[in-house]
Amino acid sequence: MKRHSLRFLSLLALLPPGGCADTVQPYLGGLKVGVTGGSYQMPMLLNETLPFEYPPDAWRSRVGGETLLYIHITTEGAVDSVMVLKTSGHPSLDSAALNGARELRFRPAHLGTEPVDTWGKLPIRFPMPEEVTEY
């Protein structure tokens, strides 16, 4: 095999199976809040694209998992506090979940016609690279 062919194959070995790391996106589970019913309206996600990035070190190591976050959504719909309730077991995935959650924007929760701040549990899933089948 020629030298340049070996270099190309070496680069291919660094790519995740089924696509590039930047084509695989972590995704959100459903937001769960402690208040329901009556005139309470849940917050609604406004982001058209999700601000989560799969950490390159986690991709290269072929790790995935789910981080469960506890987020505070203000009356303006911003996320101003975030904490990890349950770790994915991988610090880089937890960090990416925390950083992305701070960029989320919501239509705030409402009690009747008044916006109210709320806390909620939000799972962020980072699919294992082996689970990815897109090309």
What domain range is 117 assigned to?
Answer: 3-129
- For residue 34, the tally of other CB atoms under 10 A from its CB is 8
**Is 19 part of a structural domain of the chain?**
yes
- pLDDT at site 77: 97
Q: What is the pLDDT of residues 10-34, one digit of tens each?
A: 333 333 333 344 456 676 678 888 7
**Is 123 part of a structural domain of the chain?**
yes
Q: Specify the number of domains making up the chain.
A: 1
The Cα–Cα gap between 84 and 67 comes to 7
- pLDDT at site 38: 80
The Cα–Cα gap between 40 and 111 comes to 4
Regarding beta strands 40-41 and 109-111, do their DSSP bridges make them parallel or antiparallel, or are they unpaired? antiparallel
pTM of the prediction?
0.75
44, pLDDT greater than 90: yes
- pLDDT at site 31: 82
- pLDDT at site 7: 33
The Cα–Cα gap between 77 and 106 comes to 4
Kindly report the CATH number assigned to the domain that includes residue 60. 3.30.2420.10
The Cα–Cα gap between 53 and 127 comes to 12
**Is 134 part of a structural domain of the chain?**
no
Q: What is the pLDDT of residues 49-103, one digit of tens each?
A: 889 999 999 988 889 999 999 999 999 999 999 999 999 999 999 999 999 999 9
**Is 85 part of a structural domain of the chain?**
yes
